[in-house]
């Protein structure tokens, strides 16, 4: 899983197209070691991936986050906050609602 996420965060403007091609290989895995920091932080003056592509990022987080968490997610709250700030309409999306519920319960 780390390899897929690492590949995605290096795709730049091609992120949505590459994600669309790879998403069928992504599965929920409960771990806090996914390198999602690039999704919430500016690197080399580039905006965070979640700010550039909020809908694709939301889909990625939904696809890779299990239905039940046994430990609090580290980057997920930050990613969701950035998605809400960048694209407020997505806060009513069922994927966002599921993920924010998990965050609030963990």
* pLDDT 10s digits, 51-92: 999 999 999 999 988 888 877 678 899 999 999 999 999 999
Tokens of 37: 């920091």
Q: Please tell me the distance from the alpha carbon of residue 35 to that of residue 75, in angstroms, as a whole number.
A: 9
Q: Please tell me the distance from the alpha carbon of residue 60 to that of residue 45, in angstroms, as a whole number.
A: 23
Does residue 22 carry a pLDDT above 80? yes
Can you give the residue ranges of every domain in the chain?
2-105
For residue 78, give the nearest of 99, 55, 105 by alpha carbon.
99
Q: What is the pTM of this model?
A: 0.87
Does residue 33 carry a pLDDT above 60? no
Does residue 9 carry a pLDDT above 90? no
For 22-26, 43-47, 96-100, which range has the lowest pLDDT when averaged over its residues?
43-47
Kindly give, in sequence order, each residue whose CB lies less than 8 Å from that of residue 17, ignoring residues fewer than 6 positions away: none
């Amino acid at each position: 899983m780390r390899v897929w996420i690492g590949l995605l965060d290096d795709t730049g403007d091609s992120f949505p197209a590459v994600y669309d091609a790879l998403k069928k290989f992504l599965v929920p895995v409960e771990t806090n070691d996914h390198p999602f920091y690039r999704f919430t932080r500016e690197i080399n003056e580039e905006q965070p991936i979640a700010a550039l592509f909020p809908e694709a990022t939301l889909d990625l987080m939904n696809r890779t986050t299990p239905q039940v968490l046994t430990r609090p997610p580290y980057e997920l709250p930050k990613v969701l906050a950035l998605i809400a700030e960048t694209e407020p309409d997505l806060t009513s999306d069922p994927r966002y609602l599921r993920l924010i519920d998990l965050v609030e319960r963990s």
